[in-house]
Structure 1
Amino acid sequence: MEKRQMYIADLNVVFGKESEPMIKRIDDIMLPAMTSRLYRQVGKDNRTRLFFHNVCINEVEKDEYVLQGLLIKDTVLSVQSVYDNATGLQMTNERIKSSPYSLFMIYLKNHRMVLVKNQSGSPDIRSFSATIKDVVKEYIRTQNDIKKAEGKGKEEFLPYPHINIAGIKSAQSVRTALADVEKIDKLIFKFFPLNDEWDYDSVFGGIEAQIRRRIQSNKGRMEFPSPQSVDGVADIIEETEGMVKTELKVQYKEDSDKAIGKQKGTIKDNELSEVLQVEVTGELSDAYEQINGYGHELNPLHIQSENNLINYEEFVKKRKK
């Protein structure tokens, strides 16, 4: 068995001015977009493509549906030198095709997701976030162009999404990220539209329900200057449960490697997120059942709000018709 890195995150996708939750647009937007063969190009000369593969809705257990598939990074590696014990360092000019991938499972009951990297160069949560944004928006643009060419009115156009992914943090993962920090200058929380989780009793649930939704703002920001308690910061970040993005402005210890050339820095949301090590038997591309098994032991994957549950039960009923 080989160990792989597994990330847990909260995927928030809402559509249009009414912030329609992702689960209501699974069949006409999300699934068609992720199976459309659209891709995101990155890197010099756009030689690298990221795209979704084998995406489907799967019932992993009774009434437990996930949107699952692979995210592939299709690229060409440039090799300009190689070392051989007999001949020493040799110059070369080779190009090698490489397609590292990651497996993902999005639990539709609460929009929590896991992403497992197959190898060191496999796409991470940031790559997933950037790719799903580009692919879904391009799919919607293409479909709306078709509707426009057919003479259909704007009321029939597909709505554009707000997509945000925040990694799930533990108090320990935050403390690890702060190991080289001398002082926290500022703790920042960034708000975004949630997938009908505004009634969930998290540390920020009330802000989502009572402020952001009432004033109809898609973004929000809260700052705390010079927090003194590292343990308090770690605990409160853990309690956000992926419903906000977190950023820390810090000063590094003088003897820290991170302090070389700079004393101040920014620790971003993805650097605070917890990364688990999981063992996988066989090929990761076929390991959905194994990964789902690990999910049984992860509390963040089982959290759900009453309002979200109502929409999910409607979705399950439709699947069974």
Structure 2
Amino acid sequence: MKKNYNVEFWNFVCHFGEHKLLDFYSELVHPAFTNGLTRDYGENCWFFHNVELLTCNFDGNELPFVYGRIIKDTVLRRTQYFSEGELKEDEKGIQSSPSSIFILSLIDHRLFFVKEQSDSPTMENFKSTITKFIKDIRTKLIDDEYRAAKEIYDYNGGSNGKLHRTTKKNLGVRFPEPNIEIIAQSSDAGIDEFVRGMKSIDQLQLEVITPNNESDCNGFFEAIRKKDKQVGVKKSTHTYRKKDGVLAHDNISDISKEANKDENVQITLKGKDIHNDKLIGTNDSFKLVKRIDEIEEIPTLFTKSVYESFMELIKDGIIRGPKISDMDKVKEKLSNILKIIR
């Protein structure tokens, strides 16, 4: 059995128009995880497996998590092999189904990801899959609501009756499309190390994203989000480019670390390495990982262990951790979700 796995730390940001993840969790998000949907591309197929909504006790509080696996079902093919000093043609295929474990904390939307094999599904695979599934569930929900409303409308006299006719456009407003961003959580040390490896920095780009239920930790990003809200966008991009020289390493490192502490900003660094080759760094380039020896088979125990590791990183000051702005409302929504689903 494989030993030594890496736990990756991410921030799962999901909006439905002006609504947030928990507002449509029961109707759209949970079914996307549990309804047995598949995403196909060629001989590859991605799907979620054994997903459950569970709770773990931390200091007397029952916190809810979504635990499960994303599986990539594929076929590994060969056309030849080398034996007895020569190449031999031999076409064969074998099914392969590598997997990754994901744990989504619903109270703070932190996402923990563990690849179980070298060719396991990536976070990019996870994002594409959950986005497609939520959109599929949304389309089906709108179609079902439309058919039900049409039956009632027709039963009550149709255009000659008194009821207002429901349209799919109206339902599309009622159930907005999902907008999902998944941001790697990084440490100051990881950013410093990457910046030190750059011979020159040509550009720093910050994509400021509206968070789920978190308060801003920096007045600069708070001001940006207020402007974004005024013009009706969920994210905006701000770019710093070199002029008459290069961007200073220390200054760029400081700005990047401030953006990292916000935990809702996508960072992109562009420049050159010591060999003058193009170098691009993102949150994923300096993401924080924690080594674990093994994976606990019982989901609740493994979830509790991973989240305790996350809280230790916050306690040690390695990451800032979430600052929930409306905790009472969040807890109320979570209580309703648990009543509906469990």
Decide: shared fold, TM above 0.5.
Answer: yes
Partner in structure 2 of residue 223 of structure 1: 239
Question: Structure 1 pair 235/123, CA: closer, same or farther in 2 (3 Å)?
Answer: farther
Question: Structure 1 pair 281/5, CA: closer, same or farther in 2 (3 Å)?
Answer: closer
On the 8 A contact 1:38/1:135 being kept in 2, the answer is yes
Partner in structure 1 of residue 36 of structure 2: 37
Partner in structure 1 of residue 104 of structure 2: 106
Shift of 1:218: 2.6
Shift of 1:275: 2.9
Partner in structure 2 of residue 296 of structure 1: 311
Any residues of structure 2 matched to 1:196-211 within 5 Å, and which?
A: 196-197=213-214, 199-202=215-218, 205-211=221-227
1:76 aligns with 2:75: yes
On the 8 A contact 2:107/2:334 being kept in 1, the answer is no
Question: Which of the two has higher C-alpha Rg?
Answer: 2
Deviations 1:8-45 (A, max 9, x none): 111110102xx211012111110011112222223xxx
Deviates more, 1:130-139 or 1:75-84: 75-84
Partner in structure 2 of residue 49 of structure 1: 45
Give the residue type in structure 1 aligned to 2:93.
R
Distance 2:254 2:82 in 1: 48
Distance 2:89 2:296 in 1: 36
Shift of 1:238: 3.3
Q: How many pairs align?
A: 306
Identify which of 54, 58, 65 aligns with 2:54. 58
Distance 1:287 1:239 in 2: 31
Partner in structure 1 of residue 115 of structure 2: 117
Question: Structure 1 pair 26/289, CA: closer, same or farther in 2 (3 Å)?
Answer: same
Identify which of 206, 210, 214 aligns with 1:189. 206
On the 8 A contact 1:173/1:273 being kept in 2, the answer is yes
Shift of 1:137: 1.2
On the 8 A contact 1:49/1:73 being kept in 2, the answer is yes
Normalization by structure 1: what TM-score?
0.84
On the 8 A contact 1:169/1:237 being kept in 2, the answer is no
Identify which of 219, 225, 238 aligns with 2:257. 238
Tell me the secondary structure at the aligned position of residue 201 of structure 1. coil
Give the residue type in structure 2 aligned to 1:15.
F
Tell me the secondary structure at the aligned position of residue 4 of structure 2. strand
Give the residue type in structure 1 aligned to 2:96.
S
Distance 1:165 1:273 in 2: 12
Distance 1:319 1:35 in 2: 15
Question: Structure 1 pair 289/217, CA: closer, same or farther in 2 (3 Å)?
Answer: closer
Tell me the secondary structure at the aligned position of residue 306 of structure 1. coil
Any residues of structure 2 matched to 1:175-186 within 5 Å, and which?
A: 175-178=192-195, 180-186=197-203
On the 8 A contact 2:201/2:248 being kept in 1, the answer is no
Shift of 1:50: 1.2
1:163 aligns with 2:180: yes
On the 8 A contact 1:168/1:238 being kept in 2, the answer is no
Shift of 1:70: 0.9
Tell me the secondary structure at the aligned position of residue 12 of structure 1. strand
Any residues of structure 2 matched to 1:119-134 within 5 Å, and which?
A: 119-134=117-132
% identical aligned pairs: 22
On the 8 A contact 1:109/1:304 being kept in 2, the answer is no
Distance 1:126 1:6 in 2: 16
Identify which of 273, 287, 291 aligns with 1:277. 291
Structure 2: unaligned runs, 5 residues or longer: 151-165
Partner in structure 2 of residue 7 of structure 1: 8
Distance 2:279 2:298 in 1: 36
On the 8 A contact 2:26/2:337 being kept in 1, the answer is no
Partner in structure 2 of residue 268 of structure 1: 282
Structure 1: unaligned runs, 5 residues or longer: none
Tell me the secondary structure at the aligned position of residue 293 of structure 2. strand
